[in-house]
Amino acid sequence: MLACMVATLFLVCTAAPASAATIAITDRATDLPETARVTVGILMDAGVPVRNLGGQRYVIEVHGFHCDLRSRDALGAEDPTGGVSTVKCRIGADSTQDTKTGKPFGEGRALLETLEEIQQKRGGVVFSDCGMGYCGAYAPTIRCTINTKVESYEHGGRWACTYTDEQ
């Protein structure tokens, strides 16, 4: 009987489809107060176009944000690159190690740090997976809206972002 229960549990757990989690963060979030605004800035700095949705609302988004991270911790202290990880990121990319799909994303380290902060402070989303000196990070969609009806930059309501993982 126990063997049947274990086998059933194994089949249910392994047959269940992976589901993505989406987390929304506005500029009014007390735990991540600047995250939406910073994300918009990173995407703009990287040259991602802002689209007009009408009604003084705009959107900026990327699909297929993928990063390959490699540790250089094993290098000796005499090596100037020792202890500094390499980060190579792309947008429009597949979620596979060393992918060449999509196009390079020069602001990858900054956006990756933002995703790591979200993952640590909010939980419920997982953007990276690590092992043996390599980490891969992937976000299928990062979408931010800008509401220019809100004239104040300090009181919130202007920026909001949703981040989707691939759990």
Delimit the domains of the chain by residue range: 25-164
How much is the pLDDT for 4? 31
Task: Give the whole-angstrom CA distance, residue 77 versus residue 131.
Answer: 23
Give residue 72's pLDDT band: very low, low, confident or very high (50, 70, 90): confident
Give residue 35's pLDDT band: very low, low, confident or very high (50, 70, 90): very high
Torsion sign, CA atoms 137, 143, 148, 154? negative
Return the DSSP state at 93.
-
Task: Express as a percent the part of the chain with pLDDT over 70.
Answer: 88
Query: What is the four-CA torsion angle of 62, 64, 70, 71, rounded to 10 degrees?
Result: 60
User: For the CA atoms of the chain, what is the radius of gyration?
Assistant: 19
Task: Give the whole-angstrom CA distance, residue 157 versus residue 57.
Answer: 12
Return the DSSP state at 56.
T
Phi, psi of 70 (to 5 degrees): -130, 140
Give residue 167's pLDDT band: very low, low, confident or very high (50, 70, 90): low
Residue 58: burial class (beta carbons within 10 Å; 0-12, 13-18, 19+):
middle
Q: What is the mean predicted confidence (pLDDT) over 81-104?
A: 92
Q: Highest mean pLDDT range out of 5-9, 70-74, 136-140?
A: 136-140
DSSP-based three-state secondary structure for 1: coil
How much is the pLDDT for 18? 53
Tell me the whole-structure pTM to 2 decimals.
0.82
Instruction: Label residues 64-102 b or e (16+ Cβ within 10 Å = b).
Output: bbbbbbeeeeeeeeeeeeeeeeebebbbebebeeebeeb
**Residues in CB range of 65: below 8 A, 6 or more apart:** 89, 90, 91, 93, 105, 108, 111, 137, 138, 139, 140, 142
How much is the pLDDT for 8? 26
